[in-house]
Amino acid sequence: MEESPDVESFCQSTLFCALMDAIWQARNNTRFNNVRPSQQAVLKYAYRSCSDWYKAFDPVVLEHEGQDVVENTLLPPEQHWIMPPPGWCKINFDASFQKRSSYANIAVIGRNSDGEYLKGKVSKVRASTPGEAEALAAELAVEFAVQQHWKEVIFEGDAKRVIQACENLDAVSLWSWQPMCLNISSKLGV
């Protein structure tokens, strides 16, 4: 029997954001994938998001005995986080953009080949578009890897256009995030 989540330990705003994200994911799965998750699956997804958030910034937190349950999740198994090869680390980066204030919160999290938290970093930066915020997050990820002296690194983010632009610098000539892509390419020797 699975233990009930201790939602009392979560910050209310974090829990609210996780619930809103879970509802949005459920809506998208219903609309685009013809998959209708149960209310329990939505709540489990929100709980796991909160748990993952706190674990990412607290390396001392003990893992739950059951680990991740793939069944009844909102995302298909192929969209779950995949561990890097032995000896490598993976840095995930992301951004949340706030148009009203022209600020973005960016974060990077490094994990080893066992999926264990290594280090992370968050920052509040000025950005004029969501794309620029994602480019700043990608730049932070690369700078973070260099600062940590990590040589075997996989970078992972959800901003496809930013990743493509960093691979092909000609594609960023009109975008406000060209300086970040140039910096990333120079640090990676691309």
Residue of higher predicted confidence among 110 and 25 = 110
Domains of the chain, each with CATH number or no CATH: 7-78 (no CATH), 81-188 (3.30.420.10)
Per-residue tokens: 96: 């949340």
The predicted structure's pLDDT at residue 21: 78
Confidence of residue 6 (pLDDT cuts 50, 70, 90): low
Q: Quick check: 74 and 26 in contact, CB under 8 A? A: yes
Q: Quick check: 49 and 22 in contact, CB under 8 A? A: yes
Please give the model's pTM, rounded to 2 decimal places.
0.57
pLDDT digits (tens, 9 = 90+) for 11-44: 666 777 777 778 888 887 787 778 888 888 878 8
pLDDT digits (tens, 9 = 90+) for 34-76: 888 888 887 887 777 777 766 655 444 333 333 333 333 344 4
pLDDT digits (tens, 9 = 90+) for 138-173: 999 999 999 999 989 999 888 887 777 777 766 655
E runs forming strands in 41-146: 89-98, 103-112, 117-126
Buried b (16+ CB within 10 A) or exposed e, 77-103: eeeeeeebeeeebbbbbbbebeeeeee
Q: What angle do CA 27, 30, 31 make, to 5 degrees?
A: 85
| Average pLDDT of the chain, as a whole number | 75
Per-residue tokens: 137: 């997050």
Given a cut of 80, whether residue 182 has pLDDT beyond it is: no
